[in-house]
A and B are shown apart, each in its own frame.
Chain A
Amino acid sequence: MSENPLDNEPILVAEGVSRRFGGLVAVNTVDFTIPERAIVSLIGPNGAGKTTFFNVLLGVIDPTAGSVVFRGRRMIARPERVGFESLLWVLPAVLLGLLSGLLAEAGIVSGRLVALLGFLTLMLLVGSLLLAIIRPVWYSTALERIGIFRSARPNDMVTAGVGRTFQNIRLFQNMTAIENVLVGMHTQLHGNLLEAFLQTPRVKAEEKAAERRADDLLTLVGLHGKGNEGARNLPYGDQRRLEIARALAANPKLLLLDEPAAGMNPKETLDLVALISKLRDDLGLTILLIEHDMKVVMGISDRVTVLDHGEKIAEGTPEQVRKDPRVIEAYLGAPAA
């Protein structure tokens, strides 16, 4: 390989991330960067805090300290001035209410117009509350501009370009394989309520294209022809691959895989390693991998980070990490094969 992916610009920067559960510090001030188009791995003994760190990156769990910046945008951090946001929910409505009250008092408006203004005030209140609940992207961005910050939710992270799989498979078990992938495509489709009702040509074409793309994705992960099988009927290794296909469906830039080889047989593991390399080399994805299987980790990682008791104890190329005495002590016990 001519260029080292580790020299690329970082796609994700986590700074001083901590998470405690009561007295237990599951993740302790971890700094972590992922260079673009790199494959980096996170390893560590059971209970080291790997999954917890993952969930912080994905907006599933709030960190107790630290921040996460993804593609130059701060996504996750301590909330800032959220009190002001609640003010924003009511302020427009209160102002309009006061204004219409004053106008009525001064005799400028009367009768039905007052009622109309009252109604508008109510709708404004409802509207701003809804906005706060639904939190579309433009709303969060606008808030950030005036210094109010809330962490992204899992779906916001997907929209921003992060895909994930789960340590314990979480497919939609009662759907077929292709339906799982179609759900994953949610952010890529734009058919709205009205279009669904009217079955407009645009939305029909979109659905057709989505199905074709879902088929392609299934083929990519090696599930060609299994689209109509129920997800729960697939063999274990296929389920893991289907989860990857579902994550890919949202067109992520960064893919987070939590122990993708767990429970796979050696042949399936080899296929998986090939798939992960392909995702990076052909699709240009960046990949963060949690894995216990050292053959997987050492084979494809550009960089390995070791967590133990929530703390980062080592980071470097697979060779460096393998030789690090602290790692050997904490995790490997003896040099890995």
Chain B
Amino acid sequence: MSAAAASPTSFASRRKRLAEVSSRHRSWSIVVGIAIVGTVLPILAAIPPFTLATPTNAWMDGFTNAGVFVLLAIGLNLVVGVAGLLDLGYAAFFAIGAYTYSYVASPFGNSILGIKFVEVVSPDIAGLVFWPMLLVGALVAALFGILLGAPTLRLRGDYLAIVTLGFGEIVPIVFLNADAVTNGTNGVGGLARPALPIIGSFSALNPWPYYVSMLVVVAVVMMLAYRLVESRLGRAWEAIREDELAAAASGINTVTAKLLAFALGASTAGIAGVFNASKLVTVSPDQFTFIVSFTVLAMVVLGGMGNFWGVAVGAFVIYTINNVLLKVLNQFFDQVSFPILKDIDFIQLQFLLYGLALVAMMLWRPEGLFPNSRRQRELHTAMTEPGEDELVTAEATSEEGQR
């Protein structure tokens, strides 16, 4: 604090004031922030340098898809960034949300449930189910979050990561092999698109309804996430992440708190799953591989663990780079037929680029692009006084290991 206050560059002080105002009027600042972003993006997508790369509608579609990852990153941030539980199988809950929607919104799913719904009503009506399904998807995913979380809670650190990695693999494999109820590799198709009373069913041709709905969902989720971490429960999570024994000695039921973190993180992925399914109108096991879990984790780390705006921006940027910029680079170098670069397929280099970005990040800015102030303090002090911190952790483990 002293360093920042002593030499206030105008940018730093302005940023600090912004942070203060936004934390005092949290919900409003989220609405305003999302509204601004939501207006600027379509404008950018409609003006020259960007329209040259991809048509406006494709941009809008891409932004909506990026929104799915923003949701995922917000949810995973709750688990990893706030509560400190390393979850490598997060895509499992994304899958569960998507399949939950497919059961209600597709002919195949309806036949499994033994109901007649999608086939007998018009798409404009069937699509209405999307809205309550956002909530149902969240609840079902939360339930599975609790189921998967319960046996893993005694584990910490690496062990937890390995077990969640296992769950992340098991869930898509179950969806793949339980042919009778999931239609196996082919997945479930023909899902109803969302609908609204006046505009009717959304369509693949018009990206706007999806885009606006996504903005609303992101704003609401972000608002709830902030309210959560600024509550008693959020403090409990932070406490557990910092020192589990001290948290328990402060009266926190660490088991319950960790279960809740798992469940709420999962529910966010459930919402993202429902949304994604309704947009792709099909779900299949290959949409939920480890790559998804890994990508979301990279988004959280790069964006800045613990800071919801940070991870949202991280998710958006990484998604856009992955899915737009690399393609554009390919086209660009092909067109100008630049010697070596035109032969490189940048899309195939995606993971190499991730790797480089993550390594660079860990070296120079381990707290992420937009760090949570607390995290920043933690990492930077840890680096300047390694001796002291090591001592404390050593004692911590010896005292905790006894039970």
How large, as a class, is the contact surface on chain A?
A: 35 or more
Nearest-neighbor residue (CB-CB) of B372 within chain A: A174
Judge whether A130 and B235 touch: CB under 8 Å.
Answer: no
- Decide yes or no: A191 and B1 within 8 Å by CB, A134-B253, A170-B396, A174-B378 being known contacts: no
Knowing A170-B243, A232-B377 touch, does A133 contact B249 (C-beta < 8 A)? no
Contacts of B260 in A (CB 8 A): 193
Tell whether, in the assembled complex, residue B251 and residue A250 are in contact, meaning their CB atoms are under 8 Å apart: yes
Interface string of B240-266 (1 = CB under 8 A from A): 001101111111111110011000000
Q: Give Cα A166–Cα B248 distance, bound, in whole angstroms.
A: 12
Contact B246 A130 (CB under 8 A): no
Kindly identify which residue among B251, B381, B396, B399 contacts A186, using a CB–CB cutoff of 8 Å: B251
CB-contacts of A216-233 with B (<8 A):
230, 232-233
Contacting pair A155 B252 (CB below 8 A): yes
Interface residue A294 (Cβ < 8 Å from any Cβ of B)? no
In chain A, positions 158-190 with a C-beta closer than 8 Å to chain B are 158-159, 164, 166, 168, 170-175, 179, 182-184, 186-187, 189
Docked CA distance A184–B377 (Å): 21
Residue A6 is within 8 A (CB to CB) of chain B in the complex: no
Contact of B250 among A61, A168, A246 (CB under 8 A): A246
Nearest-neighbour CB distance to chain A for B50, whole angstroms, equals: 37
Q: Which residues of A contact B361 (CB under 8 A)?
A: none
A199 contacts partner chain B, Cβ-Cβ < 8 Å:
yes
With an 8 A cutoff between CB atoms, is B61 at the interface? no
**Cross-chain contact B250 with A196 (CB below 8 angstroms):** no
Interface residues of B in 383-399 (CB under 8 A from A): 392, 395-396, 399
- The segment from B93-101, B223-231, B342-350 found at the interface with A is B223-231
Within 8 A of A (CB), among B247-296: 247-256, 259-260
Question: Please, which residue of chain B has its CB at the minimum distance from the CB of A230?
Answer: B377
Which of B27, B236, B245, B374 sits near A170, CB closer than 8 Å?
B245
Comparing B129-137, B145-153, B177-185, B321-329, the segment that makes contact with chain A is B145-153
Q: Which residue of B lies closest to A19 (CB)?
A: B402
Q: How far is the CA of A246 from the CA of B251 in the complex (A)?
A: 11
A170 contacts which chain B residues (CB < 8 A)?
243, 245-246, 249, 392, 396
The answer to whether B25 has its CB under 8 Å from any CB of chain A is: no
Q: Report which of B233, B235, B242 forms a contact with A193, defined as CB distance below 8 A.
A: B233
Q: A170-B243, A196-B227, A199-B227 are in contact. Are A133 and B150 (CB under 8 A)?
A: yes
Given the complex of chains A and B, what is the CA–CA distance between A187 and B232 in angstroms? 10
Query: Which A residues are CB-close (under 8 A) to B377?
Result: 174, 230, 232
Assess whether B238 is interfacial by the CB under 8 Å rule: yes
Q: Tell me if A145 is interfacial: C-beta within 8 Å of chain B.
A: no
List residues of A whose CB falls within 8 A of some B CB. 55, 58, 60-62, 112, 126, 129-130, 133-135, 153-155, 158-159, 164, 166, 168, 170-175, 179, 182-184, 186-187, 189, 191, 193, 196-197, 199, 203, 207, 230, 232-233, 246-247, 249-250
Q: Top 8 closest A-B pairs, CB basis? A: A158-B251, A196-B231, A187-B251, A154-B248, A170-B246, A174-B378, A172-B242, A183-B239
Apart from the given pairs A134-B256, A166-B249, A247-B249, 18 other A-B contacts in the complex at a CB distance below 8 Å: A55-B399, A60-B399, A60-B403, A155-B248, A158-B250, A159-B251, A168-B395, A170-B249, A174-B242, A174-B374, A174-B375, A183-B239, A186-B250, A191-B233, A193-B233, A196-B234, A197-B224, A249-B250
Identify 14 residue pairs between A and B in the complex whose beta-carbon atoms are under 8 Å apart, listed by A's number: A55-B399, A112-B114, A129-B150, A130-B150, A154-B249, A173-B381, A183-B239, A184-B250, A184-B251, A186-B235, A191-B231, A196-B227, A197-B227, A207-B232
